[in-house]
């Protein structure tokens, strides 16, 4: 059996974990809203039409913040279409996904849903087809107490208290040619600065996320961040990062190593933020909002067919990736990458939450169930709170088609405010178990409270409505913890949560 070593100390600290790194995303896309969170007439629907079975699953995860209403959708969206009496709301063509948006669920309904699901709304404004005026108006509508046109209209529409939306995205992926109203970096930086400035004049308590590149693969990646931050550095609080991975060639070894790229991406954007800080002689630090991340590739071909067959359809089953076991391993590793960068990654949103590239699936009129990726997401959200510890890991490595020197044991560790330590680990070795020997003497007496394991003999195994627990956590083999020395077996190709206290 291979061996790996780890040293942990409560004084080796990366940073305080901002719980918003366990955020998610609901876009007006596919069946995320209609048929996902909202399905009036469903046996589990509440008085507003929200599915209570979905809310229960969201609550199980613990999702502190949910980005809304897009995504690409937001770049053509008029927020005013989504308020007031439902029967008067217009049906509009959505040019992001070539479907029809009915606006049955809008700002008020979504904020109500957030309250029911125990999450906070992170609201994106349209800086594609719209601009400064619409952006400041929606802040006034949502957050201003009363006594102005927009705040009084909110009250007239049934909500006396302000919505108190604290986190705002200044557009979405504004560098992408697929975006309605895409901009150059300079144009966007100027617009983000002006929109952000007046939004904060309306409500100085809000925080703003500026669009970084839509991925590292954009030819303008790097230059985009430098140029746009140069224009809006003083106004914004975070820069966004988006990244999706896939395994279309079936190369599991390379797929599981994608977090090498993710870590590099994060560190590059941090460097650029700090370079602009230096250039401006600023004392302010810009942190990161990784507000779209996941595995996304399974549904790409079927989506083309669906869109061809029903252009301008409503709530089409788009981006319905069915996640397998290896996807859950990568999602676990991506979460650990955020933990290892907890000093700078303050927000992250798993894209998305229900049906659309999501941990939660539903059938219209039928059940709701957890996909494979639900489990690492839920477990890191539950147990990865408090402080991220710098785990000194000494692991055997492997080389694959895309990377060299990839640690076979991918690990991260946290300590909550009661002093409970959790070790998260993925064994990337396809065949061999790894014996983990961890030196925990710095913590004093502790015991192994729980070893949770996610493992399946088939990397392509999935969960379905008929077989929802095919890939589900079980109790791990556990190990020994004596005199501060932990010995535990991390089975080949597995996701592990080791809770100590």
Sign of torsion over alpha carbons 251, 253, 254, 258? positive
- Bond into 139 cis (ω within 30): no
Residue whose C-alpha is closest to residue 320's, from 462, 455, 119, 110: 462
Contact 407, 30 (CB under 8 A): no
333: contact with ligand AHR by CB under 6 A: no
Verify binding: residue 247, ligand AHR, rule CB under 6 A: no
Window 262 to 301, contacts with ligand AHR (CB under 6 A): 292
Give yes or no: 173 in active site: yes
Phi-psi region of 471 (alpha: psi -120 to 50; beta: other; left: phi over 0): beta
Q: Which CB sits closer to ligand AHR, 38 or 73?
A: 73
Minimal distance, residue 71 CB to ligand AHR, in Å: 3
| Catalytic pick among 173, 225, 320, 326 | 173
- Whichever of 172 and 333 has its CB closer to ligand AHR, that residue is 172
How far apart (Å, rounded) are the C-alpha atoms in residues 73 and 172? 9
- Ranked by CB distance to ligand AHR, the top (closest) residue is 71
**Residue with Cβ nearer ligand AHR (293 or 424):** 293
Q: Which is nearer to ligand AHR, 173 or 320 (CB)?
A: 173
Per-residue binder mask for ligand AHR (CB under 6 A), 8-27, x = binder: -------------------x
94 contacts ligand AHR (rule: CB under 6 A): no
H-assigned helices in 425-476: none
Q: Contact, 500 vs 449, CB < 8 A?
A: yes
The distance of closest approach from Cβ of residue 292 to ligand AHR in the complex, given in angstroms and rounded to an integer, is: 5
Counting contacts by CB under 6 A, is residue 237 touching ligand AHR? no
Which of 69-77, 111-119, 224-232, 360-368 is the region at the interface with ligand AHR (rule: CB under 6 A)? 69-77
- Site map 190..219 versus ligand AHR, x via CB under 6 A: ------------------------x-----
Closer residue to ligand AHR in complex, CB, 70/106: 70
Q: How far is the CB of 307 from ligand AHR (least distance, A)?
A: 14
Catalytic residue chosen out of the listed positions 109, 292, 320, 326: 292
Q: What distances in angstroms separate CA 132 from CA 212, 296, 397, 433, one per listed residue?
A: 19, 33, 51, 56
487 is a catalytic site residue: no
> If binding is defined by CB under 6 A, does position 70 make contact with ligand AHR?
yes
Bridge partners, residue 38, by sequence: 34, 50
Near ligand AHR in 341-380, by CB under 6 A: 351-352
Confirm or reject binding of residue 71 to ligand AHR (CB under 6 A).
yes
Instruction: Pick the closer one to ligand AHR by CB: 94 or 429.
Output: 94
The answer to the question of residue 64 lying near ligand AHR (CB under 6 A) is no
Using the rule CB under 6 A, is 173 a contact of ligand AHR?
Answer: yes
* CA torsion, ordered 227, 228, 229, 234, to nearest 10 deg: 130
End-to-end CA distance of the chain: 27
The three-class DSSP label of residue 470 is coil
- Candidates 68-76, 100-108, 304-312, 435-443; binding stretch for ligand AHR (CB under 6 A): 68-76
Q: Is residue 172 close enough to count as binding ligand AHR by CB under 6 A?
A: yes
Whole-angstrom distance, CA of residue 82 vs CA of residue 112: 14
254 class by beta-carbon count within 10 Å (0-12 exposed, 13-18 middle, 19+ buried): middle
Instruction: Please name every residue paired with 354 in a beta bridge, in sequence order, or none if there are none.
Output: 360
Q: Which residue has the tokens 């140069």?
A: 230
- Helices 52-61, 374-383: crossing angle, 10 deg rounding: 50
Given the rule CB under 6 A, which residues bind ligand AHR? 27, 70-72, 172-173, 214, 292, 351-352
Q: Cite the active site residues.
A: 173, 292
């Amino acid at each position: 059996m291979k061996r790996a070593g780890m040293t942990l100390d409560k004084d080796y600290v990366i940073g305080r974990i901002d719980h918003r790194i366990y955020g998610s995303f609901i876009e007006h896309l596919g069946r995320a809203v209609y048929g996902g969170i909202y399905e009036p007439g469903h046996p589990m629907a509440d008085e507003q039409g929200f599915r209570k079975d979905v809310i229960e699953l969201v609550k199980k995860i613990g999702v502190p913040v949910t980005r809304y209403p897009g995504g690409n959708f937001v770049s053509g969206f008029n927020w005013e279409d989504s308020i007031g009496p439902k029967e008067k709301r217009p049906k509009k063509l959505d040019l992001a996904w070539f479907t029809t948006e009915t606006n049955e669920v809008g700002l008020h309904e979504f904020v109500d849903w957030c309250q029911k699901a125990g999450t906070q709304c992170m609201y994106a404004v349209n800086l594609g087809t719209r601009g400064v005026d619409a952006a400041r108006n929606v802040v006034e509508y949502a957050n201003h107490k009363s006594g102005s046109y927009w705040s009084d209209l909110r009250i007239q529409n049934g909500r006396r208290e302000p919505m108190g939306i604290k986190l705002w995205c200044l557009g979405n992926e504004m560098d992408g040619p697929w975006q309605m109203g895409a901009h150059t970096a300079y144009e966007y930086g100027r617009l983000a600065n002006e929109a952000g400035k007046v939004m904060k004049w309306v409500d100085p308590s809000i925080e703003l996320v500026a669009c970084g590149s839509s991925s590292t693969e954009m030819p303008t990646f790097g230059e985009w961040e430098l140029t746009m931050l140069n224009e809006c550095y003083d106004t914004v609080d975070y820069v966004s990062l988006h990244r999706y991975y896939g395994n279309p060639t079936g190369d599991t070894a390379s797929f599981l190593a994608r977090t090498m790229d993710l870590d590099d991406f994060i560190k590059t954007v941090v460097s650029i933020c700090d370079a602009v800080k230096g250039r401006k002689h600023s004392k302010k630090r810009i942190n990161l909002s990784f507000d779209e991340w996941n595995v996304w590739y399974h549904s790409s071909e079927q989506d083309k067919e669906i869109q061809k067959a029903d252009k301008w359809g409503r709530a089409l089953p788009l981006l319905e990736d069915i996640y397998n076991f290896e996807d859950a391993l990568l999602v676990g590793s991506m979460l650990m990458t955020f933990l290892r960068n907890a000093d700078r990654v303050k927000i992250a949103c798993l894209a998305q939450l229900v049906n659309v590239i999501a941990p939660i699936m539903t059938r219209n009129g039928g059940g709701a169930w957890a996909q494979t990726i639900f489990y690492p997401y839920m477990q890191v959200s539950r147990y990865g709170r408090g402080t991220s510890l710098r785990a000194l890991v000494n692991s055997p490595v492997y080389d694959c088609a895309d990377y060299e020197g990839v640690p076979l044991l991918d690990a991260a560790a946290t300590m909550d405010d009661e002093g409970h330590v959790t070790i998260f680990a993925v064994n990337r070795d396809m065949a061999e178990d790894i014996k983990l020997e961890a030196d925990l003497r710095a913590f004093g007496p502790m015991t192994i409270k729980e070893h949770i394991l996610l493992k399946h003999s088939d990397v392509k195994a999935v969960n379905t409505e008929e077989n929802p627990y095919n890939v589900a956590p079980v109790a791990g083999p556990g190990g020994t913890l004596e005199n501060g020395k932990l010995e535990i077996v991390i089975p080949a190709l597995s996701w592990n949560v080791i809770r100590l206290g």
